[in-house]
Structure 1
Amino acid sequence: MRRLLLGLAASFCAWSAQALEIAMTFDDLPAHAALPPGETRVGVTARIIAALADAKAPAMGFINGVQTEREPDSTAALAVWRAAGQPLANHTWSHMRLDDHSVAEFEADVVRNEPMLRRLMGDEDWRWLRYPYLAEGKSPEQHAQARRMLAKRGYRIAGVTMDFSDWALNDPYARCVANGDEAAVAALEARYLAAAKASLTHYRGLSRAALGREIPYVLLMHAGALDARMMPQLLAVYRSEGARFVTLEQATRDPFYAPDMKPGETSEPTTLENAARANGVSIPVQEWDVAGLDTMCR
C-alpha cells in the first residue's frame, strides 16, 4: 500500500511539474469574419500583435491569399504581421475543403498561395500547412494521398490540439457592435472567456487520459475583431494557469506530433481525440458550444 501511495504521489507530482506550453496559431489571415463599424483589418491585426508582444507569445499565421483580392486593403495586415517578426504559412489560397475536392484540385490551391508566402517570408520557413476546416480527407485513401503530396512539396502539418470555436463569435460581435447592443457584446465577451477556460480544462484532461501526460498544445485561433478585443484577457487566462508560450516549431518537437513533421501515409489525423479512441479512452463532453450565435443581434 505504501508503495502504491508513493507511486501515485510521484505521478501526481510529475503531472504538476509539467509546464503548460501553448503555441498560438491564427487561421484565415488577412481577413476573418465581418468587421464592426470603424474597424479595419490592419487595426485588428495590430491589436492582436500588440497583445502577443506584451505576453511574449510567438504566433504562426496561416493565410488565404484570395482575401487580398476580395478585400485589397487587407493586404497591409500581412505586412503588419511580418513587421512584428511573426511567421506566416499556408492555409490554401481559397480556404478549400479537401473533403469536397480531388487531391489534385487541393494541391493547385495550395500551390497558388506559395508565391505570396515567398514574397512575405523571404528566406524564412513557410512550409507549414493548416487544413481548412481541419478537413484531412473524406476517406483514409484521400487522407494518405494528400499527405504524400504535401510531403513531396516539403510541408509539415500544423495540427490542432486545443480549440474553443473562437471563429463562431466574431460575426455576432460585429452585428452586436453595429446595433449598439452593449449587453450582447458583454455577453459575448463572457462567453468567449468561459469557452477558453472550458477548452483548457477539456484538452489538458484529454491529454492526460489518452497519453498519461500533457503535450505542448497547438491552439487554433482566428484573426477576428472579437479576438483582437479579447486577446489581452485571453492571454492573461493562460498565464494565470502558468502557461509558457512557445513557437509551433517548439511545440511540435514533442513525439506526439511526429506523424505531422514528415507527413507520409497515415490513416487518420493526429489529434488527441484519435489518440483517445486508439487507447480506449472516453472523450469527455465538450463544455462549450456555438448554439444560438447565428441569431444574436439579428
Structure 2
Amino acid sequence: MIRTRCSVFISLSLAVCSIATSAKAQQIAFTWDDLPAHSVLPQGETRVEIGHQLIEAMKDANMPPVYGFVNGVQLEREPASAPMLKDWRDAGFQLGNHTWSHMNLNTSSLADWEADLEKNEPTLEQYSADSDWHWLRFPFLAEGDTPAKRADLRKYLAVHGYKIASVTMSFGDYMWNEPYARCVAKNDTAVIAQLESSYLEAASTDADFRRAMSKALYGHDIPYVLLMHVGAFDARMLPRLLKLYRDKGFTFISIPDAENDPFYASAIDPSLPDQPDSLEGAMQARGLPRPSRPKLSLDLNALCR
C-alpha cells in the first residue's frame, strides 16, 4: 500500500490522493553526482568499495545505463578513487560532466565556469570516449544568476553539443552521508537505524510531492529524473531505495529516455527558448501555488555529535 501525506499539500491534496491509488507504473531515471568521491568517508570504507556497492545494487535491479556526473578534481584530491570510474564504465554505466571543481555558476563568471567545464573534458574522454559524455549536470543546480548569463550559457552549450541533465525528483539524499560517517565512528547502531528509516521516509514523501506537482501541471506523470550522490550511506541504502520505488509502482529508465518527454525539450536542445526544467519552476511559470516541501522527521545535523 502506498502511503501519502495529503494534508501536507493543501492545494494539491486531491492530486496526491489520486496518485496514491493509481495502478499505472511510473518511470524514474536515476542519475548520480560527484563521481568518484562524495562527502566524508566512513571508517573502514573506500571509494572503490562504495562504487562496487552501487554498481552491484543497480545491476541486481537490471537498471538501464545510468549516468554518473564527474568532478575531475576528486582524482587529484583522492587518487585512490580513480578505479571507481573504470568500474562504473566496465559495468555499462555512463559518465557526464559536473565541471572539474563543482563550480557554482551563480557565484562565478561565465568565462571561468566554461573553462572549468572544459577542464573536465579530458577526464571524460579518457574514461568514456566511446560513449556520449556530453551531458551536463549543473553543480548546485545553478544555471546562472541573471537572464543574460543564462542565455549566453545556453548558446555555449548548444555550440558544444551539451544536453542538460535536469532534476525533477530529489529528496536531498546527500544530507545523510555526514551523519552516517559520524555514527559509524561512534558505533551508534540505534541512530543509524533512525537514519535508515528517515531516508526511506524522505524518498517516499518526496516522490508523492513530485507526482502531485506533475499531476497539477499536466494531469499525468512525466518521466522523472532523480538526483542522487555517490555517498557511503547512499550505497548502503540503495537496495532498499530501489525496492521502495518499485513498491510505489515505478520502473527505471535511462536519462535519454526520460528526457525524450516534451517537458525536457529545452534541456535536450539548449538552442531552443529557455523553459523551466524543474517542476517547481514550471509551477511558478504557470502561476500555480507551489506546495510546501515535505519536512524531515529528524534533525540530521544534530545526530552523533
Percent of aligned positions with the same letter in both sequences? 50
How many Å apart are 1:144 and its aligned residue? 1.2
Match of 1:75 in 2: 82
Q: Which amino acid aligns with 2:26?
A: L
- Decide whether aligned partners of structure 1 residues 116 and 22 sit closer, same or farther in structure 2, where only a CA change above 3 A counts: same
**Alpha carbons 1:129, 1:155 under 8 Å: kept:** yes
Runs of 5+ consecutive residues of structure 2 not aligned to the other structure: 1-17
Q: 1:148 aligns with which of 144, 155, 166?
A: 155
| Structure 1: distance between partners of 2:109 and 2:260 | 31
Match of 1:108 in 2: 115
Is the aligned partner of 1:52 residue 2:58? yes
**Alpha carbons 2:264, 2:277 under 8 Å: kept:** yes
Q: 2:166 aligns with which of 159, 172, 193?
A: 159
Q: Which amino acid aligns with 1:225?
A: A
Match of 1:138 in 2: 145
| Structure 2: distance between partners of 1:235 and 1:98 | 32
Match of 2:249 in 1: 242
How many Å apart are 1:112 and its aligned residue? 0.5
| Structure 1: distance between partners of 2:153 and 2:300 | 34
Q: Which amino acid aligns with 1:163?
A: S
Q: 1:203 aligns with which of 190, 205, 210?
A: 210
Match of 1:215 in 2: 222
Is the aligned partner of 1:283 residue 2:290? yes
Is the aligned partner of 1:41 residue 2:47? yes
Q: CA RMSD in A?
A: 1.7
Question: How does the TM-score come out when normalised to structure 2?
Answer: 0.90
- Decide whether aligned partners of structure 1 residues 275 and 255 sit closer, same or farther in structure 2, where only a CA change above 3 A counts: same
Q: 1:28 aligns with which of 31, 34, 37?
A: 34
Q: Which amino acid aligns with 1:71?
A: E
1:109-124 alignment, distance < 5 Å: 109-124=116-131
- Decide whether aligned partners of structure 1 residues 290 and 29 sit closer, same or farther in structure 2, where only a CA change above 3 A counts: farther
Q: Which amino acid aligns with 2:267?
A: D
How many Å apart are 1:162 and its aligned residue? 0.1
**Alpha carbons 1:21, 1:245 under 8 Å: kept:** yes
How many Å apart are 1:290 and its aligned residue? 8.7
| Structure 1: distance between partners of 2:293 and 2:214 | 14
Match of 1:225 in 2: 232
Match of 2:133 in 1: 126
How many Å apart are 1:291 and its aligned residue? 6.6
**Alpha carbons 1:66, 1:94 under 8 Å: kept:** yes
**Alpha carbons 1:144, 1:266 under 8 Å: kept:** no
